[in-house]
Amino acid sequence: MKAELPKKHKNFFFLKSEADFNNGLNDIRNQTETLTDFEIMLKIQQLIATFGDSHTYLGWYPTLKPELYLPIGVYPFSDGVFILSASKEYSTLIGKRLTKINGHPIEKVIDSLNTLITDENIALKKDFFPKFIASTQVLDFFKFGASGSYSLEVEDENNNVTTHPILSSIVGKQFVSVPINNLPYSWLQKKTAFTKKYFKEDKILHVVYNSCVPISIIRNNGKDDSLKFEDFQEQIFNDLKESDVDKLLFDMRFNGGGNSIYGTGFVNELSRKNINQTGKLFVVIGRSTFSSAILNTLDFKKKTNAIIIGEETGGKPNHYGEVRTFKLPGSKLSVQYSTKYFKNSESEINTIVPDVKIEITFKDFINGKDPIYEWVKNHSGG
């Protein structure tokens, strides 16, 4: 790690010095007799995270054991962290706001988990911790475990607070989820690379762009069909020409990146269409908007009259990227590192702030309401 990461990275010491890195590794090395392999890994990752490149990290995720997860799934809404799913025996927790784990306030738990990623912005932190907050391995590393036992404090809609013991178990098909009247379209399509739907009654063409990739798998009549992006792009332009489209909503709130060339080509073509007017073209960004999706957001800002709505992005405009990996010879763990620096803004901002900030509440979510779509639908004028 000491020899290869600085040598392979484009500019690993842009924020802190080589001495800081070497001293940090030496400090961990001096603790190896009292630390487990897992603790060593996380301490190394914490060290790497302080050097400022969110694309560079130690691949510790595969070491997490599925049987050592608390059987819950959470999501941070604007009004708190809510439990959206759980195994059947803990189904009473679903829909409750999570306030404490083993007596520790949820805010303290979140702050600790987020030391495992680069401190770029709040949005990136919101996107990160839900993936690992249920891992008892991670909770134990931060001393939130209590001799192998765990309890969750939750609050219901009437502000009643209760505490529930919970055991780790493998997350399987027995999971049940919060009842939702009608899942918002963008959430319904979260696992699809790109797709679209024309809402005739509102004259809105809602394009969901979740991944900057050349092909998307679309489910049609019980079968999976592949769709090339260039064909998808042509379909969008045909819709704009043949349907009564008053507004185009281009949704990248769940886009973690890929290759920006597809989106850039689309924006270049779209900029010449009649829909490229203030009040007719809208772009959605959010905490999961990262990497190449950041570049495509900037394409929209520079080349179109789009109104940007949603939440701050997880990624920042100027960043290191174009990642590669190498393996550590002893542990066989992968290390991801950046080989290129992307400068897309003259100012060193740590996120893209939307023109109109709109966050979803838990109540909106369970009622199938997308406040972003509703805002676009009701928006008039420039």
pLDDT for residue 97:
98
pLDDT at 173 exceeding the cut of 70: no
pLDDT for residue 347:
80
pLDDT for residue 113:
97
pLDDT for residue 382:
65
pLDDT for residue 237:
98
Mean residue pLDDT of the chain comes to: 94
| Pair 372, 310: CB distance under 8 Å | yes
| For residues 197-209, average pLDDT | 98
Rounded Cα distance, 304 and 267, in Å: 8
Domain 66-177 class in CATH: mainly beta
For the stretch 126-164, pLDDT in tens is 989 999 999 999 999 999 987 778 999 999 999 999 999
For the stretch 298-314, pLDDT in tens is 999 999 999 999 999 98
Q: Is the dihedral of CA 6, 7, 13, 14 positive or negative?
A: negative
| Cα 20 to Cα 16, 116, 160, 338, 346, distances in angstroms | 6, 17, 48, 19, 28
| For residues 174-189, average pLDDT | 86
Rounded Cα distance, 116 and 135, in Å: 14
| For residues 29-56, average pLDDT | 96
239-261 b/e (C-beta count within 10 Å ≥ 16 → b): bbeeeebebbbbbbbbbbbbebe
Residues 185-315+351-378: name the CATH superfamily.
2-enoyl-CoA Hydratase; Chain A, domain 1 (3.90.226.10)
pLDDT for residue 35:
96
DSSP per residue over 202-234, as a string? TTEEEEEE--B-SEEEEEETTEEEEEEHHHHHH
Pinpoint the alpha helices (H) of the chain.
4-8, 18-29, 37-49, 106-113, 122-128, 136-141, 185-188, 229-242, 261-270, 292-303, 362-366, 371-378
pLDDT for residue 315:
78
| Pair 74, 130: CB distance under 8 Å | yes
SS3 80: strand
Rounded Cα distance, 30 and 35, in Å: 10
pLDDT at 174 exceeding the cut of 80: no
Rounded Cα distance, 109 and 76, in Å: 13
pTM exceeding the 0.85 threshold for the entire prediction = yes
pLDDT for residue 123:
86
pLDDT at 181 exceeding the cut of 80: no
